[in-house]
Amino acid sequence: MPFTLSPASEEDSEAIIRLQFEACAEDPGFAVIFPHGSTPEAIANFTKHNQDDIRNDASCHVMKVTDSETGELAGFAIWHFLPERSQDQIDAEMLNEEVDLPSDANKEAGTVLIRNGYRKRHEIMGGKAYACMSF
């Protein structure tokens, strides 16, 4: 088999984030939120978030696909397996207006997009347990 699927480690985080920026570079929404592309600040910000999620978030499972011959990163998936939540927990999450984006990002556009994504997930799933793939 030419590819290997395995759990990602904290050490894989920067390569995963670089691949994410490369894959999304032509997406119009991504270009609005990150008008300067994959700047060192943006890479460092999201690398840290990814490392924190791998280390501390039991609901988050980051998988990587590597080329079996070269060991080069070929793809990744970030899965969240979220438990049931009460309406109070959902309401508390929706009160948090802060979205941690790097200073060179379009924070206003990014916050609107991310918050609307959370809002739509809560609208569809309510308090049920569910799994979702995310960036």
In this predicted model, what pLDDT tens digit does every residue of 37-68 receive, in sequence order? 999 999 999 999 999 999 999 999 999 999 99
The larger pLDDT score, comparing residue 94 to residue 126, is at 126
Confirm whether pTM is higher than 0.95. no
CATH number of the domain bearing residue 17: 3.40.630
CA 64 vs. chain centroid, Å, equals 14
State the total domains in the chain.
1
- Alpha-carbon distance of 78 to 60, in angstroms, equals 7
R_g (Cα) of the chain, nearest Å: 16
- What pLDDT, on the 0 to 100 scale, is given for residue 109? 93
Domain span at residue 69?
3-134
- Please state, as a whole number, how many other Cβ atoms lie within 10 Å of the Cβ of residue 2: 8
Q: State the pLDDT at residue 135.
A: 67
Two tokens, residue 104:
């060179």
Whether residue 1 has pLDDT greater than 80:
no
Residue closest to 15 by CA, chosen among 63, 55, 70, 73? 73
Q: Is the per-residue pLDDT at 97 higher than 80?
A: no
